[in-house]
Structure formats: C-alpha cells, structure tokens
Chain A
C-alpha cells in the first residue's frame, strides 16, 4: 500500500511539473541591438566589442552589428581587425556606400593599398566619385633612392699582397667606394588592379681587383672602376582580396674597363687608358605570393637566374605581423633557401632577414633591419634588389628613419647600414669553394624619397 502511494505521488509530481517552463533571460536581437547602439553612441568601444562577441556566439549577426564593430575597431585604429566586420557588412548589404568607403580606408591604412585600389575601382561612381578617382589614377607612385658607401679595405689589400697569389685562374675584389641611384615609377595597367613598377638603377663603384689568368699571371688593379646599369620590371596583381602575386624580372649590364698593367691607379698618377672593356649582362627572375590574414600575412617566393659565376635558385618564406592591427608596429621576417650551382658543384645556404617597424610620432617611423647570410648572388624579393657583388655579406644591420611631411603622400627615408662582409678569391674552375677569405666591415648611407599619387 505504501509503495502504491509513493508511486502515485511520483506520477503526480511528474504530471504537474510537465508544463513548467524553465527559462533564463535570453540573449536576443533586441537586447543586443539596444545595448550595442547605446555603447556606440557612448563611444564605449571595448564594451561594444564585447557585446558583438556575445552576439556572434549566439548566432546573432546582422549589418548594423558589423558596422558598429567595424567603427569601434576603426576608432581604436585597429584597421586590420575592422576589415572582416566591414566585409561581413557588405555581405548583408552589397552596395552599401558607407561600408565600402570604410573598408577602402581600412585597407589603405593597414598597408593593403592594392586591396583598397581593387575595391575603389569596382565601386559605382555615384557612391563616391572623388574617392574612386583618387584610387583610379594611372600613375601610382614614384621613388628615388641613392646609396653611397666608403670602405677602408687597405688592410685586406695588404693581406692579399702579403699572401702568395693563388696559382689558379680566378678573381678577387675588395670594395672601396660606390654610389648607387635608382628611380622607380609605378602605374596601373588597364582598368583593373594590375600594377607595374619600373626601376632603373645606376652604379658607379671603385674596387681593388685581383685577376689571375689561366697562365697564372696576376693583374692587381688598386682602383678598378665598375659601371653598372640595371632595370627591373615588377608586376603586382591582386586577383582576390588579400592575395598579392608579384612576378619580376631583373636585368643588369656591367661594364669594366681593362687597363694595361703599368697604367693603373692614382698611386702612379698615370693617366688611365682603357684598352678594352669587359661587358657582362645578367638576367634573373622572381615570383612572390602573399596572403593577408588580417593581423598577419604569409607568403612564399621563388627566384632564379644567372648571377656572376652561378646558376641560382632560391625559395623564400615570408611573414609579416601587425600586433596592433595597423602600421604603428610591424615585424617582417623572411627565410631564404638558396642553391648556387657552378657546373657540377653546388652549395646551399640559408639566409634570413628580420625587420621591425614602429611609429615614433605621427610623422616619424623607424625601421630596424638585420640580414644574415651568406648573401651573395642573391635575389632580394622583398626589396627588389639583386646582390651581384662578389663580396659575401655575412651580417648587416640597418636603421632607417621614415619622415612624413605634409599630407602623407610623400615620405623621406634616411638610413644607415653596418655590415660584416668577406672578400674572397673565386677560382674560375670552382667558384663554389672560395679561398683567401678576408673579413671586413662597411658602412652604407641611404637617402630616398617615395611619392604615392
């Protein structure tokens, strides 16, 4: 009997509680919308971003929410984090002029100028004609850079003279001074987002040169002038937002006058008469692909060509990190695996570079860079430079000040580079294995102007 009563009570309890709805306060659209709007009006960006996070976790996602989130990050100058929100807003409202304009600014202020241009070009003119026109110009940029260097290589030259000359045919150089100037012009190709960049450079260099011919005769020249012209054509293509593909070709023409043994150098105070000129040309290529993942970008590069004695192949991994979501602080790293081949002999090298950029004031940035080699017969796909010098750069450290006067379209670059290098003798038969390695240091000074149209 007792068991039956207990069973009845249990059944009654289940029946009575069957219809009781237990609910907790909902995270619903109306609450999120009201809260986020008030936070937007109060400029409570941190609170607003928390609300947005909560909304998204509860599958509440809509145009106004994304616009508020985008504006919050934009106001905090975290342009890279604003980008996905404005992109999502455009998914809800594909022709929205405000979201389009904000996204263009975020791309531009994040250093993603190609993406800004691509979006602005596709924007209907009636949305914002002046903005569209500012990104639709044919000419997009102009640069002029000059580098000069003076190296005291007298110690090495003395070493070379004091050491018996190699008996094998080959060449050794010790740099003395050089000046290099380059001009670059960038422009659009067609009506899309394809850009071309033409760079022409001129190098005047003076160096100590020791050449040994196949009879074992040595021809030391204390001040050998070298004249070089180079041309680079680089393309920049953004097929989809965030992806950048940059193929390039490099061409250089080098002209070296040859003097009679007794007619060289300032020491003899003899007039120089070149009886012949050695002319060489070199062609190399590269292709780089980068993809932007908002706070960081990653890429790969491939390059190759014939530089000095070598057939060069190299592969690079590149990364860039923006911890603040803007250009106020960034780190760029690259690792290159290079193979140099001469006939059947090969050598493999690892080269890595690191760059830290940061803002000092609204008009002054600094970039600190180091590169660790051996850097020789190297195609620098980040800066578009071919290192065709015979010296082997082991380590370099560079500091560049970037000053932005006026309205921000122009920037002045002033840099200084300290390097540790090696002058080596390259036997013609086996340039992969150098001999008579002599270490030296150098100091470069760079000045340049970049003007973005």
Chain B
C-alpha cells in the first residue's frame, strides 16, 4: 500500500512537471509570442520584445528571422540584426523585405559598400523600387559619382515626375554634372512642389 501511494505521488508530480514544460500548440505559441513582441515593441521595450522572440527561435523560420532582425536593430544590436536579416535572405532569396530591413543597421553603421550591394540587389528584383532607387542615388551623389547618381534619379523622376525629393536630387546631380539648363528646370519644378524649398532656391541662385 505504501509503495502504491509513492507511485501515485510520483506519477502525479512528474505529470505536472511535464505538462508545464511542453508546448501545447506550436502555431499558437508562435502567434502569441509575435503578439507579445508587438506589444512590447509598442511600449519601446525592445529588449523584452527581442527575448520573447528568441524563446521560439527557429533558424529556418523566415518570419522569425525577419522579426528578430528588426527588433535587434531597434534594441541596438546592429551586428545581430544583420545576421538575422541575412538568414531571412538565405531562406527567401527573392524577398525584398529582409533586403530593405538590413539597410537600417547598415546605414546606421555607415557601411555604404554593403548598403550599395543591397540596393542593387533590390533593383535587380524590383527595378522600380523607389526606396532603393532614391537611396542608391544618394549614395552615389555623396561619393561624387554623379553619373551613376543621375541614372537612378532619372528613373525615379520618370516614375514620379512631381515628387519633391526626386526632383531636388536630380536637379543637384545635373548641377554637379554641369548640365545647368536641365538643373534650372528641375529646381523650378521642385519649387512648384515646395515653394519654400531653401535647397531649390540655393540651386537657382548658384545658376544665376
């Protein structure tokens, strides 16, 4: 009788331990962790959000790696962010999401060569991606590679002829390339969009 009692106690106890450590439903856990991470992110608790996602980490999970890439960046772990985004890219090579995501940590570090490569990869998949076109144009402009910048700003202005940022950078690029007639027209168009634009006014003053 004594032995039976002990066996019952042990069985109940072990069942309790086991039940609290086993996941009830993997998908449910995934969803609830994602939800909890959004909640923590909204409160600005990026480290908490990061750790919530790490609890359910699966290196073959595209969504998890993508989410961790973003949260790691927000939490200030740029290297870690890059690693997660790279894994997401490896899992879905034609996805633009991780390529756009990785540009955040790369640009905060100033690693422009790696950033250039990402934007070029994006344009290869999606030639009219305006974020990639604009930022790539900016990279080339800052490096004083004005011919290369011109190509991307021109494409942008063709897609969005009345977009202020595209018009302005295309104007400055033409100015640097000494295409003053084109630059003047573009500065004027930028002023149509934003009549108070100091940059466009400065450009026109330089052309006078």
Residues of A within 8 A of B (CB): 4, 8, 11-12, 15, 18, 21, 26, 28-31, 33, 59-60, 62-65, 67, 91-97, 124, 126-127
Contacts and interface: CB of A to CB of B under 8 A. Distances in A.
In this complex, the member of A11, A21, A31, A92 whose beta carbon has the largest number of chain B beta carbons within 10 angstroms is A92
A153 B13 CA distance: 110
B65 to A, nearest CB: 18
B74 to A, nearest CB: 9
Interface stretch (B33-41, B140-148, B152-160): B140-148
23 contacts: A15-B21, A18-B21, A26-B76, A28-B77, A28-B78, A29-B79, A29-B109, A30-B76, A30-B77, A31-B76, A33-B108, A62-B111, A65-B109, A67-B110, A92-B109, A92-B112, A92-B113, A93-B110, A96-B143, A97-B144, A126-B144, A126-B146, A127-B144
Contact of B79 (A21, A60, A93, A94): A60
B interface: dominant SS? helix
A97 B109 contact: no
Contacts of B91: none
A97 B17 contact: no
B76 A93 contact: no
Contact of B109 (A8, A26, A63, A91): A63
B114 interface: yes
A8 B13 contact: yes
B43 interface: no
Contacts of B105: 29
A21 B51 contact: yes
B204 interface: no
- Which of A8, A21, A93, A96 has the most C-beta atoms of chain B within 10 angstroms of its own C-beta? A93
B11 interface: no
A128 to B, nearest CB: 9
Interface of B: 6, 9-10, 13, 17, 20-21, 51, 75-79, 105, 108-114, 143-146
A99 to B, nearest CB: 10
Contacts of B144: 97, 124, 126-127
A29 B143 contact: no
Given A64-B110, A92-B112, A30 B13 contact: no
Contacts of A60: 78-79
A97 B143 CA distance: 6
Contacts, number: 73
Nearest to B143: A95
A64 B146 CA distance: 23
A94 B114 CA distance: 10
B17 A93 contact: no
B119 to A, nearest CB: 14
Given A95-B143, A97-B144, A26 B77 contact: yes
B70 to A, nearest CB: 14
Nearest to B54: A21
Query: Which 5 residue pairs of A and B lie closest in terms of their CB atoms, listed nearest first?
Result: A30-B76, A62-B109, A63-B110, A29-B78, A93-B112
Nearest to A30: B76
Contacts of A21: 51
A51 to B, nearest CB: 14
B83 to A, nearest CB: 11
A243 B147 CA distance: 34
B8 to A, nearest CB: 12
Nearest to B106: A62
Contacts of B9: 4
B76 A29 contact: yes
Given A15-B20, A28-B75, A30-B76, A63 B112 contact: yes
A94 B51 contact: no
A415 B195 CA distance: 69
Contacts of B17: 11-12, 15
A62 B110 contact: yes
A242 to B, nearest CB: 22
Contacts of A91: 113
Contacts of B6: 4
Contacts of A95: 112, 143, 145
A12 B108 CA distance: 46
Given A92-B109, A95-B112, A95-B143, 11 more contacts: A4-B6, A4-B9, A11-B13, A15-B20, A26-B77, A28-B76, A29-B105, A62-B109, A92-B110, A124-B144, A127-B143
